[in-house]
Structure 1
């Protein structure tokens, strides 16, 4: 079947429930209200239709009529440029700077900590220290604020929170014992939110012939 025929009605979002990149893409789509067809996959058993769509073979991947968006931040911006009722794109430049650090040095340190056995030449305590430095900066950013830039979330909050969640869940007791109370409160507020519950809903992995699963927040 031709790829364009598969998405006659809505863009197709290929996703994996626990992937932080996919989580933040779903968060932006839910916030925008843009309707997509959601296709959950197993990373250990990627469908041929997904591999035909995604140039990188990674999630999330959004198939549009004329192109494929294969980066989570691209998908977030695409969705919010279509509809942004919460004004998530209205944030200062420092928000973009935080995303850059999150997606670079922090993500590296997170992976080196969470998957330490894959990196035997690295000191896991040093990698956790690197990640913690970034998180302490976020804690300072949150002093006196509900969200990173005030009393409402922005794109930066949605883009960062799935990765902070992943880091916290390496050892939640240790995480909660650190000197970053504002960060813990920010994360817990997100974990208790309706939108987090929505985007983390468990779905059966997609297979050829399944009825479309529509997602629009």
Structure 2
């Protein structure tokens, strides 16, 4: 059996979630190695000293250390859902850049306001709404997906972070004035694809039988 790419991952990390979404959607099998962040495996640190997940090691030894690069690599192998088709790539890149940059910074502050005492959690949440969340809801009020009528890389790249935003105060989000965004998030969360990538796996140890994902 040919060697599989090896994916070091952490189940709840939004960057790792989106990498797994793309790999599963592309139908690219990998050996999954679930990481305990407080006890990172030496094999991962040897190929990626920065110690963050996800990390994908290809059979030829190439190491891909960024989640978006893993997503585009996977979809470059196979893109049966057309995630990279029929979208304006500059618009897609801009939306993801806002998510990964200023929105992620506000999300971290909203989650951990005690670490960022300049504002309250409610103020950070409002800043995130003004920057990104309200725009996403407007988009989804007019179309089924973030960039049009079909799923794109942008949807998969952004949904784990919106999920995290929703979970900070689930009661508030359940009644917040963003019904289209809620529907979109719920559709993703209930999809077989998302359920597959969120399955629980034990922490990897070198002696373990490989887990094919």
**What TM-score bracket applies, with the shorter chain setting the length?**
over 0.9
Partner of residue 184 from structure 2, selected from 177, 183, 186: 186
Moved more, 104-113 or 206-215: 206-215
Structure 1 gaps, min length 5: 1-7
Could you tell me which residue of structure 2 aligns to residue 161 of structure 1? 159
Cα displacement (A) at 1:138: 0.5
1:87 paired residue among 75, 82, 86 = 82
Q: Which residue of 1 aligns with 2:140?
A: 142
**Residue of structure 2 aligned with 1:56, choices 50, 65, 70:** 50
User: 2:66 corresponds to which residue?
Assistant: 71
Deviation of the 1:150 alpha carbon: 2.9
CA–CA distance in structure 1, aligned partners of residues 48 and 197 of structure 2: 21
Q: Distance in 2 between matches of 1:58 and 1:122?
A: 28
Paired with 1:37 and 1:120, the residues of 2 have a C-alpha distance of 42
Give how far 1:130 is off. 1.5
2:34 aligned with 1:40:
yes
Tell me the SS of whatever aligns to 1:142. Answer: helix
Query: Which position in structure 1 is the counterpart of 2:127?
Result: 130
Q: Find the residue that maps to 1:38 and give its secondary structure.
A: strand
Greater shift in the superposed pair: 190-199 or 86-95: 86-95
Q: Determine the C-alpha separation between the residues in 2 that align with 1:55 and 1:98.
A: 29
Aligned residues: 208
1:14 aligned counterpart, secondary structure? strand
Distance (Å, rounded) in 1 between the aligned partners of 2:137 and 2:61: 41
SS at match of 1:147: coil
Measured on the aligned residues, the alpha-carbon RMSD in Å equals 1.2
The two structures have a TM-score, normalised by structure 1, of: 0.92
Which stretch has the larger CA shift, 99-108 or 130-139?
130-139
Asked if the contact 1:56/1:70 (under 8 Å) is kept, the reply is no
Say whether the 8 Å CA contact 1:38–1:212 is kept in structure 2. Answer: yes
Q: 1:58 is paired with a residue of what secondary structure? A: coil
Give the drift of 1:25.
0.1
Q: Deviations over 1:121-147 (max 9, x none)?
A: 343332111111210000111123221
- Which residue matches 2:25? 31
* TM-score after normalising by structure 2: 0.94
Q: 1:170 is matched with which residue?
A: 168
Structure 1 residue 117 and structure 2 residue 111: aligned?
no
Structure 2, gaps ≥5 residues long: none
1:176 & 1:154 partners in 2: Cα distance? 25
Q: Is residue 147–residue 154 contact of structure 2 (8 Å, CA) maintained in 1?
A: no
